[in-house]
Amino acid sequence: MPNSVGKRFKPTKYIPVSTAATLLVGSTTLFFVFTCPWLTKAISPGVPLYNGVVFLFVLANFSMATFMDPGVFPRAEEDEDKDDDFRAPLYKNVEIKGIQVRMKWCATCHFYRPPRCSHCSVCDNCVEDFDHHCPWVNNCIGRRNYRYFFLFLLSLSIHMVGVFSFGLLFVLHHMERLGTLHTTITLVVMCIAGLFFIPVMGLTGFHMVLVARGRTTNEQVTGKFRGGVNPFTQGCCGNIKYVLCAPLVPRYTGVDPRKKPPVSIQPPFIRPDISDRQISIKVSDNGIHTSILRSKSKISLDGLALDDKGLDTQPPLPPKADRYNQLKSQLTSSKDSSLTGKTHPSTPAMYKYRPSFGTIPKVHYNAAGEKIVMPDDHRKASAILEEGRCHVDYRSEPNLDLPDYHNAPLHRTFQSSPLQLDSYLINSRSLSLKQAHQRRDKGQLPTLQPETATSTPYKSVFSPNTLSNRNGSLSYDSLLNPSISPATEAECMAHPGMPSMGFHTPYLPTKMCHVRGPELQSQRQQVPPSFSPMLGSRGIGMSMSRQSPLDRDPSPVRYDNLSKTIMASIQERKEMEEKEKLLLHHAGHSQAQAYNQAQDSGMFDSPTPPAYGGSRDNLMGVVSYGPRTPVLRSSGGSSLVRAPRTSSSSLHTDSSMQGGRASEPSYRSPAHQPHHSPAMPQSPSYTHQKLSFIHALERTDSPRLGGPREAMMQSKVNGQTDCHLGPNSSSAQGNPLSPSRHSNVKKVTGVGGTTYEISV
Amino acid sequence: MERAGTHGEMTLTGEKRDWTHSLQDMRQQAAIAAKVFIQRDYTNGTVCQFQTKFPSELETRIDKQQFEETVRTLNNLYAEAEKLGGSSYLEGCLACLTAYTIFLCMETHYEKVLKKIAKFIQEQNDKIYAPRGLLLTDPIERGLRVVEVTIFEDRSLGR
């Protein structure tokens, strides 16, 4: 018995198919030899002819079912699965005709199994439209050969009925000579047919029902659509037509690598033109050189629900591993954002974090014309310009400057696009883009002239992206303060201190950063800008705040599979918090608490039930608890604060939603935690709080908070780090919290334990 | 030894020349910078459709309209391949009648369209994508799961 390295010759797996083949061919042959001659004479020659045709049909279908490739997917190549393998969530959600379908990651084949695909353990392959593995034909039944299998069953049933009835006819006519050879053999054949009649007919009937319902055996047996709607059905007639008349799909495996003439690709390459109408935005390096990790963004399933989830392939982040190794964390966030795009929206960007930039090739953008062209809106553009000018300097830290970049202060010009969100997104994008390149030393002010730049892609990208971004990152959107008016935003824009950071803290999901945006913005409004940009988060906050007025759909981001380490760290933090709280309670130190909370907010904290449609909201509650304390303004908030995790949405009292969900009762399972992180505050107060979270250490702004004491007390009372006050309190107050002005360096702990120093 | 040395030198030079020459060849062809994967769009079920969303990595390389046009055409071609029309029905009947032996000689409708798609992709690569430093890979090579877009390094700009 040959024993190859991979596959061993297993005779046992051929037993059922051999038995089936033997029985089928043997019995029918016997029937033809012994029974048919008499039948031909007694009834008509049409009998053997009919039986012959049926038998031929049975054989043909049997052979096709046995030997035809059922629709095996070839293994994914290495470069395709690089993003997905490490730390990839196990499931991706996809919406098919309005119904959420889960796609599972196949560890053997290295891709997310398409809907209806399943991995056959016997064949060790993923099979498209997997029905079942049939031992009688020793083959999987899948998309390509289901029809033949079904026809085999049908024809076999008919054949068995025919053989049995004609045999019975023969026997009945030869009752007196039952002992003769012919009769005996006919009886034997009849017995075989009768014996297998029930199972075969049963199976045939079962598959007839399946075909009519448009289900596979796998789906039926696992009860996938039990009581639910089958998104794959096309109606009874449609299903039957599909099974019987659909064109035969060619096989995927063994496809010869198309002997096509090699395409020679040599630089220089053509670059897309930017239309004149668009104003280019120059983005120069902001000094925070995060290696923008460019994920091989699979424009993933997120794209399936394009409008909802956005965040796919958001800021393109070409990795510069060689340079930015130290900026891993930052990179992660950008990677997260891009990865988020890549994964289904339900996957939190958070745990797509993979600082494996060494392996990711760099994407080189055309540095020459690297400008982001925004849809022109001169009026706003000028505002943005000014703003851009002003806040050039806030990039101070962390000082990760690399030699290439320090010479090019990054200027970001924002232009409000028709979708206000766009500008933020563009900013972040431009930033990320810029960072990716050798920044030209364009320390100058951004220009408004329409220059050729990569505006077109941006523009077009942004529109859908913003939407998607909005949705995706934003289930935060719902969290974001809807009350942020465009005017406010514009204001924010004009703020010199507005962080134009496009990148996200590595450890915070993009969404999180986005969530922060509104907070920051609101804070900013009140406090003179000159924030040093919080790494990424503010910028993102910016975009978030922009987005907030826009409609938001809760994005079904799920953080089911937050990595264990993150979960562990979250748990640690929680414990820390609790301890801190106790300490605070004694010491009466709000600051420490705030600090802890702030730290904690960096982590995905216990989820709070989302008030707005998104699991992210939970995170909001969680995150906000940190910043909340400092921002507690009114005593009214305290009552809200009281609502500890237990009460969810009841907390938010005011329209600006705060994510008040402060409530999430107990620490949910880690799987849920990541949900919360993105649930950043929606209301300006949240934004505000986020900011304060950043400044948590500072607490210098208590006066403006109008009651940090209260916050403190409340936080003490709550004893729960998540959602204590924060949005609740702020919402109670109804006025946006003014961000404290911090001139000193703040340490902010991001998710994953990274500490950032932000100078405000 | 001298001979060997001389010989070695000569050989070395020869090898060096070859090596240099091949190096030059290598330099001629651009290096792969990254790959983008266009995933399937399952919103309409399991029909073969690809997402038309423009990936951000390609923003600086190609026009969005162009790219979307390519993907839309691909989608239309696949829809045509999978259409449950008269031709596919006839094909099925004919195959049944001939006990599927017809598959040995005739090309199915889907295969014909796949050839058309391969030609289309080749043409798109030659005309549009290669000059921009991109390369589309026929999704059939990946089991119709993804369209792989390879982005090549743009060395001319020193990046």
Question: A458 CA to chain B: closest CA distance, Å?
Answer: 7
pLDDT of residue A139: 92
Lowest mean pLDDT among A15-29, A225-239, A653-667, B123-137: A653-667
Q: What is the mean pLDDT of residues A327-353?
A: 42
Q: What is the mean pLDDT of residues A136-157?
A: 93
The answer to the question of residue B91 being in a domain is yes
Q: Report CB contact under 8 Å: B118, A56.
A: no
The whole domain housing B24 covers 17-54+62-153
The answer to the question of residue B24 being in a domain is yes
Q: Report CB contact under 8 Å: B55, A96.
A: no
The answer to the question of residue B32 being in a domain is yes
Q: How far apart are CA A604 and CA A73, in angstroms?
A: 37
Chain A residues with CB-CB distance to B109 below 8 A: 247
The answer to the question of residue B2 being in a domain is no
Structural domains in chain B (count): 1
Q: Report CB contact under 8 Å: B55, A297.
A: yes
Q: Report CB contact under 8 Å: B153, A267.
A: yes
Q: What's the start-to-end Cα distance of chain B, in Å?
A: 47
Q: What is the DSSP string of A683-708?
A: SHHHHHHHHHHHGGGT-TTHHHHT-H
A3 against A189, higher pLDDT: A189
Cβ-count burial A539-559 (b if 16+ within 10 Å, e if not): bbbbbbbbbbbbebbbbbbbb
Task: Examine the pLDDT at A674 and tell me if it is beyond 50.
Answer: no
The answer to the question of residue B113 being in a domain is yes
A341 against A98, higher pLDDT: A98
Report how far apart, in Å, the C-alpha atoms of A179 and of each of A167, A187, A513, A604, B112 are: 15, 10, 88, 83, 59
Arithmetic mean of pLDDT over chain B: 80
Q: What is the DSSP string of A473-513?
A: TTHHHHHS-TT--HHHHHHHHH-TT--------TTS-HHHH
pLDDT of residue A248: 87
Among the ranges A149-153, A167-171, A216-220, which has the highest mean pLDDT value? Answer: A149-153
- A134's enclosing H/E stretch is strand A132-134
Where does the pLDDT of residue A223 fall: very low under 50, low under 70, confident under 90, or very high at 90 and above? confident
Do B28 and A266 meet the contact criterion of CB atoms below 8 Å apart? Answer: yes
The answer to the question of residue B149 being in a domain is yes
Arithmetic mean of pLDDT over chain A: 59
- Give the tens place of pLDDT for each residue, A308-324: 443 334 444 444 444 44
Chain A residues with CB-CB distance to B53 below 8 A: 299, 303, 306, 312-313, 464, 468
- Give the tens place of pLDDT for each residue, B3-24: 444 444 444 555 555 555 545 4
- A593's enclosing H/E stretch is helix A590-602
Which of A247, A273, A299 is nearest residue B55 as measured by Cβ atoms? Answer: A299
pLDDT of residue A685: 42
Where does the pLDDT of residue A756 fall: very low under 50, low under 70, confident under 90, or very high at 90 and above? low
Where does the pLDDT of residue B85 fall: very low under 50, low under 70, confident under 90, or very high at 90 and above? confident
Task: Examine the pLDDT at A720 and tell me if it is beyond 60.
Answer: no
Chain A residues with CB-CB distance to B55 below 8 A: 297, 299, 313
| CA-based R_g, chain B, Å | 24
Question: B21 CA to chain A: closest CA distance, Å?
Answer: 17
Query: Predicted ipTM?
Result: 0.82
Could you give the percent of chain A with pLDDT greater than 90? 14
Task: Examine the pLDDT at A202 and tell me if it is beyond 60.
Answer: yes
Q: What is the mean pLDDT of residues A131-159?
A: 93
Question: B132 CA to chain A: closest CA distance, Å?
Answer: 4
Do A428 and A315 meet the contact criterion of CB atoms below 8 Å apart? Answer: yes
Interface test with B, best of A269, A335, A462 (most B CBs within 10 A): A269
Q: How far apart are CA A646 and CA A640, in angstroms?
A: 12
As annotated, the active-site residues of A are 134
Q: How many residue contacts between A and B have a Cβ separation below 8 Å? A: 250
Nearest to A614 by CA among A692, A659, A532, A554: A554
- Give the tens place of pLDDT for each residue, A360-402: 444 444 444 444 444 444 444 444 444 444 444 444 444 444 4
A682 against B154, higher pLDDT: B154
pLDDT of residue A86: 67
Where does the pLDDT of residue A445 fall: very low under 50, low under 70, confident under 90, or very high at 90 and above? very low
The answer to the question of residue B5 being in a domain is no
pLDDT of residue A583: 76
Q: What is the mean pLDDT of residues A722-740?
A: 40
Interface test with A, best of B51, B60, B120, B144 (most A CBs within 10 A): B60
Secondary structure (3-state) at B139:
helix
Secondary structure (3-state) at B39:
strand
Interface test with B, best of A363, A425, A462 (most B CBs within 10 A): A363
Where does the pLDDT of residue A92 fall: very low under 50, low under 70, confident under 90, or very high at 90 and above? confident
The number of helices, as runs of H, and strands, as runs of E, in chain B is 5, 3
The answer to the question of residue B3 being in a domain is no
Q: Report CB contact under 8 Å: B82, A60.
A: no
Task: Examine the pLDDT at A486 and tell me if it is beyond 50.
Answer: no
- Give the tens place of pLDDT for each residue, A493-504: 444 444 444 444
Q: Report CB contact under 8 Å: A265, B30.
A: yes
Task: Examine the pLDDT at A280 and tell me if it is beyond 50.
Answer: no
pLDDT of residue B74: 92
Q: Report CB contact under 8 Å: B46, A271.
A: no
- Give the tens place of pLDDT for each residue, A740-755: 444 566 665 655 555 5
Where does the pLDDT of residue A175 fall: very low under 50, low under 70, confident under 90, or very high at 90 and above? confident
